[in-house]
Amino acid sequence: MTYYYGQKTDNHWDSDETYIPPQEPKKIKPKIVKVKIDLADPALMAMCSSTKYFKSCKGLINKINAHFEWEKDVLPIRKYEDHYEEIIKFILDNYTIRDNVMLGSRTAHIIYIMKLSGYNGSFINKQQALYHINIPTNVNIKQYDEWEVLKGKIKTEMDHTGNASGYMVLLCCYHGYPLRIGDIALTNIYKKDNYHHLDLENKTWTISPDKTKNRRYRQFNVSDEFVTKVKECVHKSGWLVCRQNTGTLYKAAVSMNMLQISSFTINEVRNSFETWNYSRNNVSETEKELLSINILGHTASTARAYYTPLIGDLSSAV
């Protein structure tokens, strides 16, 4: 048998020496990525892991867009590629970035939206480099009361407030459970799927990962006194924070002002409590970290870097 150049190859002959004509190569359809990502597109929001996280991503992108005078609710990929260094500088200048991990977390908000739209270009590929740069952090001084002083103010507000949901938030803070206000608002004494659960029988508070900032499961014990107080004043719906006439959750994110608490913010309470936590000399370091992780929802490394330098000065924080 005569063979012609290029005719016999492993791909064109079978085991019986029967010739198989070469197949036309399949055309690969090019992947098209939008030049601009529409942040107002409901389909994009539906693809996100949660509405809350999508809003967080969108908020960061719109702040960057406003700074550069770009169109609102749009992520212009080419502009983000061309202005990468300026965007990183904007984040460093306008957010409290304590380490490389936090910087990576911020840019991950942008990258997440890009990936949902099929983009996989230079903006994403530069992400790893962020973990090797020096972070020029600015000291952000916050003023707040020492914990025992602030605890007295909380008690005063509890005694005078006429807002039942506000009272419940104050009660949580007073007894040493100053969770983020959203975590308190999404807690029910009856077990509900994907919501936080305050178990009054077993005296445990469980934080579901689905409805919290860092998406981590947490659980901690609560005191007998706290449980007794909750039983006395919790709404019949079981929600710690709700509209008292209907027992329904607030449609928008609830704030301290909405609950008629004006003497301090929840962040001031949390900062004061955490600084007190790390200033204690009569408990182990492990116990301090567990309180920080389980109740406040901090990571041990961030909490230690943020609060332990302030043991001698409880009225300020970096």
Measured in whole angstroms, the distance separating CA 98 from the mean position of its chain's CA atoms is 16
Assigned domain for 4 exists: no
Of the candidates 287, 175, 168, 291, which has an alpha carbon nearest to the alpha carbon of residue 224?
Answer: 175
What pLDDT is stored for residue 6 in this prediction? 40
Count of structural domains within the chain: 2
Question: How far apart (Å, rounded) are the C-alpha atoms in residues 113 and 12?
Answer: 45
Assigned domain for 302 exists: yes
What pLDDT is stored for residue 96 in this prediction? 74
Please check whether residues 261 and 291 belong to one and the same domain.
yes
Can you tell me which residue has the tokens 């659980």?
A: 219
DSSP structural state of residue 162: -
Can you tell me which residue has the tokens 């490389």?
A: 100
Domain boundary residue, one of 75, 104, 132 = 132
Radius of gyration of the chain (CA): 27
What pLDDT is stored for residue 135 in this prediction? 67
Can you tell me which residue has the tokens 């409805």?
A: 211
Q: Give the phi and the psi of residue 38 in degrees, each rounded to 5.
A: -85, 110
What pLDDT is stored for residue 87 in this prediction? 93
Assigned domain for 64 exists: yes
What pLDDT is stored for residue 210 in this prediction? 83
User: 163 vs 252, which has greater pLDDT?
Assistant: 163
What pLDDT is stored for residue 27 in this prediction? 58
Given a cut of 60, is residue 279 above it in pLDDT?
yes
What pLDDT is stored for residue 1 in this prediction? 41
DSSP structural state of residue 282: S
Assigned domain for 9 exists: no
CB 187 within 8 A of CB 239: yes
Q: Which are the contacts of 60, defined by CB distance < 8 A and separation ≥ 6? A: 106, 109, 110
Q: Which residues of 187-207 are buried (b: 16+ CB within 10 A; e: fewer)?
A: bbbeeeeebbbbbbeeeebbb
User: 206 vs 144, which has greater pLDDT?
Assistant: 206
Q: Which two tokens stand for residue 20?
A: 């198989």
Assigned domain for 112 exists: yes
Domain boundary residue, one of 80, 103, 132 = 132
Please check whether residues 261 and 148 belong to one and the same domain.
yes
Give me the residues paired with residue 316 across strands.
Answer: 143
Helix extents (H) in the chain = 42-47, 51-68, 77-82, 84-94, 100-116, 122-125, 147-160, 164-174, 181-185, 224-233, 266-279, 285-291, 300-307
Assigned domain for 137 exists: no
The Cα-based distances of 279 to 248, 271, 285, 312 in angstroms read: 39, 12, 10, 8
Assigned domain for 189 exists: yes
What pLDDT is stored for residue 13 in this prediction? 52
Please check whether residues 243 and 311 belong to one and the same domain.
yes
What pLDDT is stored for residue 234 in this prediction? 96
Please check whether residues 180 and 272 belong to one and the same domain.
yes
CATH number at residue 213: 1.10.443
Please check whether residues 102 and 226 belong to one and the same domain.
no
pTM for this model (two decimals): 0.60
Please check whether residues 78 and 191 belong to one and the same domain.
no
Please check whether residues 275 and 172 belong to one and the same domain.
yes
Please check whether residues 98 and 157 belong to one and the same domain.
no
Domain that holds residue 205: 143-317
Is the four-CA dihedral 129, 90, 143, 164 of positive or negative sign?
negative
Mean pLDDT along residues 183-201: 95
DSSP structural state of residue 121: S
Please check whether residues 75 and 198 belong to one and the same domain.
no
Q: Which are the contacts of 85, defined by CB distance < 8 A and separation ≥ 6? A: none
Please check whether residues 104 and 164 belong to one and the same domain.
no
pLDDT of 70-120, one tens digit each?
999 999 999 999 999 999 989 888 887 777 778 888 898 999 999 888 888
User: 191 vs 31, which has greater pLDDT?
Assistant: 191
Please check whether residues 82 and 169 belong to one and the same domain.
no
Given a cut of 90, is residue 260 above it in pLDDT?
yes
Other C-beta atoms closer than 10 Å to the C-beta of 276 total 18
Question: How far apart (Å, rounded) are the C-alpha atoms in residues 249 and 261?
Answer: 18
Domain boundary residue, one of 132, 156, 190 = 132
Please check whether residues 99 and 161 belong to one and the same domain.
no
What pLDDT is stored for residue 149 in this prediction? 95
Assigned domain for 90 exists: yes
